[in-house]
Amino acid sequence: MALGSSAPEILLSIISTVKDIQAIPPELGPSTIVGSAAFNLLVISGVSIIAVGGDDGETKQIDDLWVFAVTTLFSLWAYIWMWICVADAYISILEGIMTCVFFVCLITIAYTADRVNHYRVGQRMSQEEHVEKERQDEIKIKKDRLRSLGREYSDNAVIEVAQGLPPKESMAISEEQKKEIKQLYREIFDVSDLKEVGINELLGALQPEKLLERFAYRKRSAGNAKEFVRIKGAKGQLDHDEDARKNVKEENDLVGFKCLHYSVTESNGHVEVTVVKKLINQELLVGVRTRDDTAQAPKDYQEVNQEIRFAKREQEKKIEIPIVDDEEWNPDLEFWVELYDPTKTEQGFDDRLPGDDTRCKVTILDEDFPGTIQFGNTDIRVSKGAKEVEIEVERVDGSDGTIGCMISTEPLTMEPSPQSAQEFEDYLPKHEKVTFKHNETSQIINIKLVNDKLGAAEDVKEFKDIADDDGAEEEEGSEEGDPDLIFKVKLDKPEPVGVKISKKNVCLVTLLRSEEEDKMAKSQRKLIEFYLSMQDPSWS
């Protein structure tokens, strides 16, 4: 800036000197040089200090003192040297050469001071970064310890201890561990009293390091208080502008979005979108509207269609778009925010402004946890004489929203097998949808069995054959009853998209002979053996 503003005076003085090299220099040449130097030393420095931002009354300091000191000293020496040179009304060749030498010294010393300052700043920064890195590593270790305690006793219990609340969920935590939890929190937040730390900060220390980058903070059991999952009062919004800008090929010259991709949690209540005006000292009228994608208004967010007017000195405008926080689980949803020309819309056009930065994407991150569907027991044994079998289907790790899946029966093997129960012969097939309503965690599914009435009549016939066999005790003892029959029950096709079925998705149902029938058969065998031992043929 100083060189640019002084260029006319310098050129004027050089031209005058070269033109009148042997004559007395005119007043215009040297005086402009001196005046420009004084202007740069005093006025430019003063304006630069005033122009630096800051609150009124704020103390301002020189950041780079070495370069400033070199410039100041050489400026003052320039005036002193000029007085020495013109004091005798004669400028010698030696004085001219010395003046050029001083100029070279100024450039060299200024450059050296700048490099030294850069080195010192780098050293100071590296030391501070090293100290900060060590501190962050220590905090990470302490947070890992807190998370392990949270997994062991539940996050609610850890928060309860940190807040000093009456023990409700933290009764299983020992006194030593309670002291450890409080001390860990004090060291993480560098406070002496945990009352200074809010619930959102306490909960944040228990959350994974890279949330939203997903805000999906997992509930560890169905029915956990959702208030502990939400970070109330905190800004649950992330900007992904760096990644989104990679696809920008053309920008609008007048206006655009500051960030091209936002992520926001449902519980945040709104997303804040920033519109930036690129022109200075010019008024601008622009329209902002939302466009549905997978997120639909007003079900997932409140539609916005408004005009915003930038004053001459305004550079940014913030637009709040309400987000609907419901109890239903949904996969992450998206909608768009666009900039358009309201004057063209009035004339019948409805197109957004040109440029890739006049459209931004908003991703709504669902904090509801639908849970995982599975069988409560994967191996069920039931008497073959029973009329039906009851199978429990569970919903674990969350119970938000309405979810469902298909449940179906099928034989143990597709090929005929002695151990494979057959449809309609041993059980009635089932193929239906299981639906869990909001906060519902368990359902009982009944499967009808076909009763073939194996019972006492067949046992009596067996025993008569044994009696007629007169002494075939060993042969009778080697007879085997009907084999156990098995069929499968499967869970598949979860819905909506994103709901999961655990590995406990197959249940084997084994049809056994009833215990009462077995007891009756054993009793009759003992009775027959007794009479045969008495050799009483009239009994038979």
Residue 336's pLDDT band (boundaries 50, 70, 90)? very high
* pLDDT tens readout for residues 214-263: 444 443 333 343 333 333 334 467 777 677 777 788 888 889 998 888 88
What is the tally of structural domains in the chain?
Answer: 4
| Residue type at position 152 | E
Q: In this structure, is residue 285 part of a structural domain?
A: yes
For 450, the token pair is 């076909």
Res. 41: pLDDT tops 90: no
Q: In this structure, is residue 102 part of a structural domain?
A: yes
Q: Do 379 and 451 share a domain, yes or no? A: yes
CB-based contact 275:307 (threshold 8 Å): no
Domain's final residue, options 334, 365, 396: 365
**Which pTM was predicted?**
0.42
Residue 533's pLDDT band (boundaries 50, 70, 90)? low
Q: Do 341 and 409 share a domain, yes or no? A: no
CA atoms of 199 and 225, how far apart (whole Å) = 14
Res. 486: pLDDT tops 50: yes
Q: Which of 52-66, 141-155, 273-287, 396-410 has the lowest mean pLDDT?
A: 52-66
Q: In which domain, by residue range, is 103 found?
A: 2-51+61-124
Domain's final residue, options 124, 151, 169: 124
Q: Do 343 and 410 share a domain, yes or no? A: no
Query: Is pLDDT larger for residue 34 or for residue 509?
Result: 509
Q: Do 275 and 407 share a domain, yes or no? A: no
CB-based contact 498:370 (threshold 8 Å): yes
Q: Which residues fall within 8 angstroms of residue 391, CB to CB, at 6 or more apart? A: 375, 377, 380, 444, 445, 446, 447, 489, 507, 509
Q: In this structure, is residue 218 part of a structural domain?
A: no
The predicted pLDDT at position 233 comes to: 35
Domain's final residue, options 124, 159, 175: 124
* pLDDT tens readout for residues 395-443: 987 787 889 999 999 988 877 778 888 888 888 999 999 999 888 889 9
For 155, the token pair is 């996050």
% of the chain residues with pLDDT over 70: 78
DSSP H or E stretch at residue 489: strand 485-495
Mean pLDDT over residues 448-470, rounded?
Answer: 50
**How many helices, marked H, and strands, marked E, lie in the chain?**
14, 18
Q: In this structure, is residue 360 part of a structural domain?
A: yes
CA atoms of 384 and 512, how far apart (whole Å) = 5
Alpha carbon distances (Å) from 491 to 227, 280, 335, 485, 503: 32, 63, 33, 21, 10
The predicted pLDDT at position 433 comes to: 93
Q: Do 90 and 173 share a domain, yes or no? A: no
CA torsion angle for 214, 215, 218, 222 (degrees, to 10)? -140
Res. 209: pLDDT tops 50: yes
CA atoms of 61 and 296, how far apart (whole Å) = 53
Q: In this structure, is residue 217 part of a structural domain?
A: no
Strands (E) in 323-451, as ranges, are 333-340, 359-365, 372-375, 379-383, 388-396, 403-411, 431-436, 442-448
- Is residue 263 classed as helix, strand or coil in its secondary structure? strand
Q: Do 442 and 400 share a domain, yes or no? A: yes
Residue 479's pLDDT band (boundaries 50, 70, 90)? very low
The predicted pLDDT at position 434 comes to: 93
For 275, the token pair is 């519109």
Q: How many CA atoms lie within 13 A of 350 on its CB side?
A: 5
Q: Do 262 and 183 share a domain, yes or no? A: no
Q: In this structure, is residue 231 part of a structural domain?
A: no
For 409, other C-beta atoms within 10 Å of its C-beta total 20
| Residue type at position 176 | E
Q: In this structure, is residue 228 part of a structural domain?
A: no
Residue 274's pLDDT band (boundaries 50, 70, 90)? very high
Res. 150: pLDDT tops 90: no
DSSP 31-99: HHHHHHHHIIIIIIHHHHHHHS---TT-----S-HHHHHHHHHHHHHHHHHHHHHHTTT---HHHHHHH
Q: Do 243 and 342 share a domain, yes or no? A: yes
Q: Do 199 and 338 share a domain, yes or no? A: no
Q: In this structure, is residue 222 part of a structural domain?
A: no
Rg for the chain, CA atoms, rounded? 43
DSSP H or E stretch at residue 237: strand 237-239
Q: Do 24 and 134 share a domain, yes or no? A: no
| Residue type at position 503 | K
Res. 518: pLDDT tops 60: no
CB-based contact 257:274 (threshold 8 Å): yes
Q: Do 267 and 341 share a domain, yes or no? A: yes
Mean of per-residue pLDDT scores for the chain: 77
